[in-house]
Amino acid sequence: MEERPRRKLTRLASFDYRSPGAYFVTLVTHKRVCLFGEVDEGRMIINAAGQMVEDWWLSLTGKFAGASLDAFIVMPNHFHGLLVLNAGFSVGADPCVGPEKSGAHTGAPLRRKSTSLPEVMRWFKTMTTNAHIRGVRDEGWPRFEGRLWQRSYHDRIVRNETELNRLREYVANNPLRWHLDQENPAYPGTGDG
- pLDDT over 90 (residue 93): no
pLDDT computed for residue 22 by the predictor = 92
Return mean pLDDT, the chain: 82
Q: Is 53 in contact with 79 (CB distance < 8 Å)?
A: yes
pLDDT computed for residue 183 by the predictor = 85
pLDDT (average), residues 10-21: 64
Using one digit for the tens of pLDDT, what is the confidence trace for 18-68? 678 899 999 999 999 999 999 999 999 999 999 999 999 999 999 998 899
pLDDT computed for residue 13 by the predictor = 59
Q: pLDDT-derived band of residue 158, with 50, 70 and 90 as boundaries?
A: very high
pLDDT computed for residue 178 by the predictor = 92
- The CATH code for residues 21-180 is 3.30.70.1290
Q: Is 27 in contact with 153 (CB distance < 8 Å)?
A: yes
Beta-strand relationship, 78-85 and 154-158 = unpaired
pLDDT computed for residue 24 by the predictor = 97
Q: Give the containing element (helix H, strand E) for 35.
A: none
Q: For residues 154 and 11, give the distance between their C-alpha atoms in angstroms, rounded to a whole number.
A: 9
Name which of 71-80, 104-113, 134-143 the model is least confident about.
104-113
Using one digit for the tens of pLDDT, what is the confidence trace for 94-134? 333 344 444 444 555 555 556 889 999 999 999 999 999 99
